[in-house]
Amino acid sequence: MRRRDVLAAALIACIVSALLALPAFDRVRGLSLDVAHWLRHIAFGQQYPTESSPAVVVALDEESYRTPPFADRPVVLWTPQIAAVLNAVIAGGAKVVGFDVILPQSVEAVARGYDREFLIALRNASRDGKVVLGKVQHQLLPIRPFPGQSFAVGHQQNIRSNNLFRDDDEVIRRAPLSFKSDDLEAGERTETSMAAELVARATGQAPEIVPGGAVRIAGRIVPGSASKNVTLNFDGGGRAIPLYSFADLFACAESGNAEYFKRHFDGRIVLIGTVLDVEDRKLSSMRFMTGTEGVANVPRCALQPMAGLHREDLERDTIAGVIIQATAVNNLMRGDTLVELDRVVIWLIDMLLALGAALLTLAFAPVAAGLSIVGAALAWTAGATLALRQSFVLPLLDPLLGAAIAFALVLGYRFAVADRDKRFLRQSFALYLAPSVVDRLVAAEKPPELGGESRDVTVWFSDVAGFTGISEKLSPGELVALMNEYLTAMTDIVEAHGGFVDKYIGDAIVAVFGAPHDDPDHALSAVRAALACQAKLSELNRDAVAFKGHRLACRIGINTGAMLVGNIGSRRRFNYTVMGDAANLASRLEGVNKMYGTRILASAATAERTGTAIVWREIDRVRVVGREQPVVMFEPIGEAASVPADVAERVATYERALAAYRARQFEAAATAFQGLAGDDQPARMFLERARGFVAAPPAEGWDGVMTLEGK
């Protein structure tokens, strides 16, 4: 990667992360927390058993509204029954009872003494600090308990706010620990929230501000409390908080079942609130993992659950407000409120992930970069999910969004700027150079220069037999069409087998296998390409319109060995090519095909490198022009797995005849070659030689090597 591109990627990452840090993206961060809750629930389920919850809820639920004596009666007329349940719960050992439901009205004005039992219950509980009434304020004036109730509990001493914080998207993710309020006599004062007050009374330890502004409750510093509010750690799919139907508890109290209240409420913090279908329902971070309502999650005392009250297929994204209060109580009791990072740290994380995505997009092809970023995103998501299990909030959606935006922007930058030169090179040279050579030129990111290296490669040389005679019969246009069809087909096959075309010399093709990209099987690739070219040429002779009945035959020579490979030429003009004696031998072998009537000839070095994948037969040992060392030539018959049995038998017969010939058993060799000579020119040649040696045996120093006089 060039320095310019890296700086551009870094700038894009900084801009993207800075935009994500703006308050406008706070909703994305809130959504991240909700999604992280859902992922944790999917991965690990409910974090705590329901029965271990420090807080329980006495629910004024749909069942209570439909059960006598509550049916068809307003809640203000339920005070005697509420008193009975309150007394039973406290007698059962509840640490403290908080009212999430507010009763701002009373029938005392028209039915004096109606609330007597309720007021006495409140007074008795408040003396021991075991009851806290709720209030709430959204407008200028708060909604408070009826004055008689306030008087019974000692006014502000046992009344706390039920307010919860809503984010801009109306989702509750945090709960306050304290509020500032105005008092007509005392002026401005700070008072604890409902949840904090209930925990303080249950533990017997008042909230304490420690240096730095954090709050200590229940003997431990509350994570994230320096801002005077805490991020809630929601658990379960709506079943982590035990819910007791008020109607069932009243019937239980009426029956005198004190043991039930002892078993279920001893040592617990109790919240009384509405759990209804429409009233006091709120969006929270649990909105993606709420469960079906109406499913009992605690044992009943006196009444069976009411049938046909709830739909089994309905899961809503809202929950009752009292469940949020109970969650806050549980978090404070367990010390597992969520720890969120500040904006600077979140910005750094967003920037690092965006920068990583940007650099990946620069370093790899778009598909590979995209897959890498998706893999990194999945890993980050898993890490954020695991972190939330430890009550630690890592940003989830915003860094992933930043990475996606950075990927798109850097991709656009690559197309418009970074890859423009590379595209120009590819488009300019693709018609003149092999794709592998162009790739190497582009990857180098610097001008090519003279130089080479010695490499083990395979050179492939082909030529069209009788091309001069064919060209004389065609017009220039017809000849061009014919050669373009032929050269295109042959080139495609060479490149499909990992080779590259070094040059065209008229109708001849020079190809190289094993450079510039390494191919340990370059000899086998070259032979397979040669066999495929012969098969394709037969198809073209039969079907190609451009051939117009002119049947072409091509001869191919192949040799493997150490050659000089690289940019070779003058300082102003050069070519990526191969040079050396091994390259020249491939050309000689191509020409020898004409003498032996073969289509493909390869050296022993090439044949040996193909192993058992190809069926070969030795054609002859010759001494070509320019080389003193004899060359053993082989003809590839075909892929070992596809050679027919009769062809394999003919090859075996030929090899036995050739072995007899080498052993100076000329009569036996002639007899064997006689059976093959009908349509096999090499066999006919050896038959003639064997017969000649029968008549006039060679000298004692005969080595069986044929010296060729021409190229």
Please identify which residue in the block is written with the tokens 């705590």: 48
| Helix runs in 414-455, H state only | 420-429, 435-444
Amino acid, single-letter form, for residue 532:
A
Beta strand 96-99 pairing with 131-135: parallel
Q: Rounded to 10 degrees, what is the CA torsion of 542, 543, 549, 555?
A: -60
Please identify which residue in the block is written with the tokens 């890859």: 419
Helix (H) or strand (E) holding 147: helix 147-152
d(CA 178, CA 194): 9
Give the chain's mean pLDDT: 87
The CA–CA distances, whole Å, from 495 to 150, 486, 490, 561 equal 91, 15, 9, 20
Please identify which residue in the block is written with the tokens 């596809």: 642
The CA–CA distances, whole Å, from 497 to 323, 438, 483 equal 68, 17, 21
According to DSSP, residue 54 is labeled: S
The answer to whether the bond into 69 is cis (omega within 30° of 0) is yes
Span 180-202, pLDDT tens digits: 766 545 556 778 899 999 999 99
- Extract the tokens encoding 319: 């929950």
Grade residue 207 by pLDDT with cuts at 50, 70 and 90: confident
pTM (predicted TM-score): 0.67
Q: Are 190 and 179 in contact (CB under 8 A)?
A: yes
Grade residue 439 by pLDDT with cuts at 50, 70 and 90: low
Q: Is 292 helix (H, G, I), strand (E, B) or coil?
A: coil
Q: Is 468 exposed, middle or buried (0-12, 13-18, 19+ CB in 10 A)?
A: exposed
Q: Are 233 and 337 in contact (CB under 8 A)?
A: yes
Span 579-621, pLDDT tens digits: 888 888 898 899 899 989 999 999 999 999 999 999 999 999 9
According to DSSP, residue 423 is labeled: H
d(CA 225, CA 338): 10
Q: Are 556 and 533 in contact (CB under 8 A)?
A: yes
Question: Which pLDDT does position 320 carry in this prediction?
Answer: 92
Q: Are 271 and 62 in contact (CB under 8 A)?
A: no
What residues have CB less than 8 Å from 141, skipping those under 6 apart?
Answer: none
Span 516-537, pLDDT tens digits: 778 899 999 999 999 999 999 9
Mean pLDDT of 33-58: 94
Grade residue 257 by pLDDT with cuts at 50, 70 and 90: very high
Question: Which pLDDT does position 215 carry in this prediction?
Answer: 81
